């Protein structure tokens, strides 16, 4: 026989049109058979949520609370409802014929079975299935096998008993049984005449093989946990229109749809009523879950949602025992007093040491200032004529911060005069900071000399000096930062692609020559650079030349044409006459410039030990090439083409003249600058003339035969050129 039973549970919800929270009448029934009936559930209209019959439960004449045809055990605010559910069974005679059965089909509507339930089968050689009626895609079940009676202490693990989780969403469930006997039906029937299947809450059924296999009909029902929720929306979706009252919060239902409410921690009551959640007085409640843990109830002080234990004056609370104990006033006071006194003493000593250190640092900085020639610099600047008023004195701390403590990653380059760092000032201005390499007083003088020389120079092709710092053991110079490296890097280095065109190289040569001519002839006091080389010529983002590193430079008094000094310079660029005699004059810079010009023409280094023995020096290299009429072999392939051969030959002639052995045979820098400028003027004039003739011939309809080489151009002799270079006298 198959019995039908209705198995419903409410999971209902706010509709889209309902904006006002419903509340029950004051005279609603609040219990039935000792079971509390609380909103949103109710036993009569106006007492359950929104007059929705899905929350309507019945209190029958036997004082039993019925929901969906099943007796209710209890209803939890958190979304659980417990009901009694009958077990299903099938009994057989010794021949295996079915003689008695009760197979229940439960219609669940919007029910969700809680994960706290288990589907259980008790019996031998039996199969039980729990499935959706008409839809086998949602089903579960288990198989129990045994051909002899299991041991008394056997567990529900497939021998005489099996169980499985119930986690599928079911609108209705149906128990279906298949039973079979493998052998020895009589012996099995003796200890297992019936097979039982049922849903039960976890922990409510313990398998006993001796009792349950023989006769489980003494037990007719088990508690089952059902999940309920309000509506189909989550807390975020429902917002402030949820059913949750004051001092409560909304949380999403474990069912996956709808929501439930709960009181805040430290509050209790019905969270679905507007003002039911009230503060729990942990100091007076007898409920051990919410009771205080103060060892002395008199120290408990209730607060909204919590409590704390307060000890009287002179006592402190022990967090381990939550009891008050007397303060150890004597030792504590002595200990604290000793600590405070020691800290005050240490603070005083620290202040004195800090003040002494500041005095020592100030004295040391003043000592370094004098040691690094600060007095000499001030004296010379005041007597050397107009100076660069923009020169700033930087502090030691500002230099450390700008270079990140002189980190190695900030080094831009190193040379005989010192190390250059990349620095970033507080105003985010990027600068180059030169740290002088000092060893004796003569090098201090060279450092001061560089400051002095640069203070007299205000030229667009000279690296601008921004300031200096003399407070450090090693003095520092702060220059403008030139972004594109040195001419040496562009010609010979690996950091830049050596793609300088002839126009670039000619312009750089003109700018350097013009700068040296200005230093020799137009500065307020003539200046000899004394270390002209490609490594001391910087290029900015526009490839504009900037002459740098004046550490070896010398000012020439107006009444002298040359100075006798200790020989100083760079091998390969050093004037041989100056090297042999020690007599320094402007022709020494002319020789060095000639070497630079040869590097621009050839792309070769000033000294290269891979070249033949008699051509290791670039001057000898050029001399032998011109003597053997193979100049085209040493000119950089990126430079020479059929349109600039005359200009390159003229530039080569100028370079050779600049590097003659005796200074008297060399031209002056002013003359060199004029000749190079004349080359550029002639080049531009020639290009304009060609363009003019081409356009004229085009207008007259004359066919141009340049492809056959039939055009001609007017010759130009740079020696007879009358153009004169205007040497800039400053910005």
Which residues are part of the catalytic machinery?
531
Q: State how far the Cα of 379 lies from the Cα of 388, in Å rounded to an integer.
A: 15
Q: State how far the Cα of 433 lies from the Cα of 401, in Å rounded to an integer.
A: 12
Smallest Cα–Cα separation from 272: which of 531, 10, 556, 478? Answer: 10
Q: State how far the Cα of 209 lies from the Cα of 189, in Å rounded to an integer.
A: 14
In the structure, how many helices (H) and strands (E) does the chain have?
Answer: 15, 37
DSSP letter (8 states) at residue 331: H
By the 8 A CB rule, do 250 and 33 touch? no
Tokens for 576? 């041989």
Smallest Cα–Cα separation from 396: which of 306, 339, 470, 490? Answer: 470
Q: Tokens 């939550």 correspond to what residue?
A: 322
φ/ψ (deg, to 5) at 633: -75, -25
Smallest Cα–Cα separation from 538: which of 508, 518, 516? Answer: 508
Alpha-carbon torsion 155, 159, 161, 164, what sign?
A: positive
* Cα dihedral 691/693/694/699 (nearest 10): 130
Smallest Cα–Cα separation from 552: which of 574, 581, 580? Answer: 574
Neighbouring C-alpha atoms within 13 Å toward the C-beta of 81: 30
Q: Tokens 């023995």 correspond to what residue?
A: 613
* 583 Cβ contact partners less than 8 Å away, ≥ 6 residues apart: 562, 563, 564, 577
Q: State how far the Cα of 599 lies from the Cα of 611, in Å rounded to an integer.
A: 14
φ/ψ (deg, to 5) at 74: -165, 165
Tokens for 680? 């550029």
DSSP letter (8 states) at residue 522: I
Q: What is the DSSP string of 429-440?
A: -EEEEEEE---S
* 144 Cβ contact partners less than 8 Å away, ≥ 6 residues apart: 121, 122, 123, 124, 125, 126, 127, 158, 159, 160, 161, 162
Tokens for 267? 């509050």
Smallest Cα–Cα separation from 122: which of 191, 174, 31, 73? Answer: 191
Bridge partners (DSSP) listed for residue 530: none
Biggest distance spanned by C-alpha atoms of the chain: 142
DSSP letter (8 states) at residue 224: E
By the 8 A CB rule, do 133 and 202 touch? no
Q: Which residues of 309-333 are buried (b: 16+ CB within 10 A; e: fewer)?
A: bebeeeeebeeeeeebeeeeeeeee
φ/ψ (deg, to 5) at 158: 115, -10
């Amino acid at each position: 026989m198959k019995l039908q039973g209705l198995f419903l549970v409410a999971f209902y919800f706010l509709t889209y049109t309902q904006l006002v929270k419903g509340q029950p009448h004051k005279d609603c029934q609040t219990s039935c058979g000792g079971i509390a009936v609380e909103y949103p559930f109710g036993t009569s209209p106006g007492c359950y949520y929104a007059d929705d019959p899905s929350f309507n439960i019945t209190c029958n004449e036997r004082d039993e609370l019925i929901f969906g045809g099943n007796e209710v055990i209890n209803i939890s605010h958190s979304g659980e409802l417990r009901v009694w559910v009958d077990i299903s069974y099938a009994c057989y005679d010794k021949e295996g014929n079915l003689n008695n059965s009760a197979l229940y089909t439960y219609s669940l509507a919007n029910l969700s079975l809680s994960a706290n339930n288990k589907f259980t089968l008790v019996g031998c050689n039996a199969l039980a299935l729990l499935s959706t009626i008409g839809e086998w895609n949602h089903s579960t079940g288990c198989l129990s096998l045994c051909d002899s009676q299991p041991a008394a202490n056997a567990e529900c693990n497939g021998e005489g008993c099996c169980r499985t989780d119930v986690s599928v969403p079911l609108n209705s469930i149906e128990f279906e049984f298949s039973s079979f006997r493998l052998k020895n039906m009589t012996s099995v029937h003796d200890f297992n005449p019936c097979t039982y299947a049922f849903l039960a809450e976890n922990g409510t059924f313990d398998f006993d093989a001796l009792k349950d296999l023989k006769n489980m009909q003494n037990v007719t029902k088990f508690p089952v946990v059902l999940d309920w929720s309000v509506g189909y929306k989550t807390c975020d979706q429902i917002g402030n229109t949820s059913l949750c009252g004051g001092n409560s919060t909304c949380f999403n239902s474990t069912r996956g749809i709808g929501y439930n409410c709960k009181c805040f921690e430290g509050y209790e009551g019905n969270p679905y009523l507007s003002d039911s959640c009230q503060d729990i007085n942990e100091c007076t409640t007898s409920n051990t879950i919410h009771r205080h843990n103060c060892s002395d109830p008199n120290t408990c002080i209730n607060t909204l949602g919590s409590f704390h234990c307060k000890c009287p004056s002179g006592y402190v609370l022990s967090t381990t025992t939550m009891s008050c104990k007397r303060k150890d006033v004597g030792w504590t006071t002595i200990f604290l007093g000793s600590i405070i006194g020691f800290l005050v003493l240490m603070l005083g000593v620290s202040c004195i040491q800090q003040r002494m250190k500041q005095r020592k640092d100030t004295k040391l900085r003043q000592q370094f200032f004098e040691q690094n020639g600060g007095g000499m610099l001030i004296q010379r600047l005041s007597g050397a004529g107009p100076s660069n008023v923009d020169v700033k004195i930087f502090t030691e701390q500002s230099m450390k911060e700008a270079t990140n403590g002189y980190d190695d990653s900030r080094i831009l380059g190193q040379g005989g005069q010192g190390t250059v760092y990349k620095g970033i000032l507080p105003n985010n201005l990027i600068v180059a900071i030169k740290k002088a390499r000092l060893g004796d007083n003569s090098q201090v003088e060279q450092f001061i000399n560089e400051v002095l020389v640069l203070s007299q120079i205000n030229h667009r092709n000279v690296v601008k000096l921004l300031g200096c710092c003399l407070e450090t053991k090693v003095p520092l110079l702060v220059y403008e930062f030139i972004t594109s490296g040195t001419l040496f890097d562009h010609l010979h280095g690996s950091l830049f692609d050596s793609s300088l065109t002839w126009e670039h190289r000619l312009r750089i040569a003109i700018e350097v020559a013009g700068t040296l001519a200005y230093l020799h002839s137009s500065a307020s006091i003539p200046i000899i650079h004394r270390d002209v080389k490609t490594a001391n010529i910087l290029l900015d983002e526009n490839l504009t030349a900037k002459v740098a590193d004046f550490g070896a430079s010398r000012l020439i008094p107006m009444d002298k044409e040359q100075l006798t000094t200790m020989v100083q310079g760079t091998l390969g660029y050093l004037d041989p006459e100056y090297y042999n005699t020690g007599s320094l004059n402007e022709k020494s810079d002319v020789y060095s410039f000639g070497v630079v010009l040869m590097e621009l023409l050839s792309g070769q280094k000033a000294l290269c030990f891979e070249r033949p023995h008699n051509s290791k020096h670039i001057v000898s290299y050029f001399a032998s090439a011109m003597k053997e009429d193979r100049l085209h072999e040493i000119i950089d392939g990126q430079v020479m083409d059929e349109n600039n051969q005359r200009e390159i030959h003229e530039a080569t002639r100028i370079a050779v003249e600049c590097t003659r052995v005796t200074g008297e045979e060399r031209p002056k820098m002013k003359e060199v600058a004029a000749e190079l400028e004349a080359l550029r003027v002639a080049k531009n004039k020639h290009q304009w003339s060609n363009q003019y003739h081409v356009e004229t011939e085009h207008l007259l309809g004359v066919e141009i035969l340049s492809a056959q080489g039939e055009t001609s151009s007017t010759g130009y002799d740079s020696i007879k050129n009358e153009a004169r270079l205007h040497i800039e006298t400053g910005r």
